[in-house]
Structure 1
Amino acid sequence: MESPVLTIRENSTFSCCYFSGGLPGSEQETLNALNLVPLTSRNILEIGSGKGLATTVLANNTQAAITVVDNEQSALDRLVERFTEHGLNDRIKPVCASMTDLPFEPKGFDLIWAEGSAYIMGVESALKEWRPLLEHNGVMILSDLVWFTDTPTSEAQAFWKGEYPDMVSVDIRLEQIKAAGYKVVEHFPLSQQAWENYYLPLKQRAIELTPSMPDSNALNDINTEVSIFERYLDEFGYEMFIIQKAAK
């Protein structure tokens, strides 16, 4: 995936809001998850498509119709522009809507794709609200930031309590998935390389900007976040969950 771009907004909310590149990940991670889907998809719903990085992987590696949802029309416009340049615009249907109020009929999709977006409405809520949109035995891919340890260091715990208070362990997330009416096909963590692709360019850019912005709160926040990544990444990370709708 493309390297994130650092955008300074001194009064904006801390953390990923500064990074127009989005979240850790890579084309290979997306493809790895797609290869674990136990069906040949015909209708994909991608929720929180952003710049369309995962969308490109889906379009290039399936024959499915892809409905892409984002709540920012400008993001969808850029996505359509990119796909038009590559002759793939006929593969996607952009829909500007909130993930909490999706305008689709029940059982309209055999695959829902949600990389790094379910946390916005809460993973448990997303599992419940999106389930009716899946066909019988339909599949959902979601990635979520989780703890890899039951005893995180106090500094890492304090940091994520402020950034993502609903963050839980992999085991708890798996229990929630099953309780919501899914069976777990597979799950795996994003690689160290995917994280480095994300935060190393941010670190370098912050270093470059510091001389001209020595008192920037935004840069200080970014440096704090990068420091947490570098020191405690073995304690947390993004987990990809490949799950399938089960009969309740």
Structure 2
Amino acid sequence: MGATIGFLYPGYSAEDDYPAFQRLLGDDVSLRLVHTLMREDAHRVDALLDVGGPDVLGEGARTLREQGVDAAVWACTSGSFVFGWEGAKQQVDGVREAAGAPASSTSFAFVNAIRHLGARRVAIAATYPDDVAQRFVEFLRDADIEVVSMASRGIVTAAEVGTLPAPDVLDFVALNDRADAEAVLVPDTALHSAAILEDLEERLGKPVLTANQVSVWEGLRLAGATSPRSGLGTLFRSAPAVSVAGA
């Protein structure tokens, strides 16, 4: 077995994306999932700050340490970017220390994936309420990434996001593409995307980056398992256009 990647995943919504990614990746890497505490399932800033709190992540990261992972990813976009750039860095530092392995989060994974593709202008198709989605826009702007459009679907709970059918997701993402966007971002790890990555890109004719996709890619990157792979979208097939910055 090659690299073992650990993921801290809040609650239960689209956790079955990770076994799906495992099947697509093959047996040269291993994906391990630890569910972290979600006291309240709400895409609301105060609830998200609690979901990504150091007590919650520390407990999960220590479990990953016991499993001997080669890299750890906090697999929650909103539960990382709501802390702002510096707060999200501190969050990752805490996971790294507790897990005893290189670490990152989904928010930084999006930034690194965009840089990997050499893109600068993106559109966002977010399932979150508008106020939460705006914080993701601010996070990307701190990384000098231009957001040309942002659509928010206004769904409050991760549980509801996890029930969205694939055709609905495809239509929502396609509706919120923009001609001047070099990639479209779909930032919610509660959303199932493993099975539709290629369909999304075929529909839009450009790279589409989803939260669980970039989380898995980031974990492999941190562990040095960077060989190109098919069936997982442009991100996994492409060599880096620019050097990828660390979180």
TM-score range for the pair, normalised by the shorter chain length: 0.3 to 0.5
Q: Which has the greater radius of gyration?
A: 1
TM, length-normalised to structure 1:
0.36
Q: Per residue, is there more strand in 1 or in 2?
A: 1
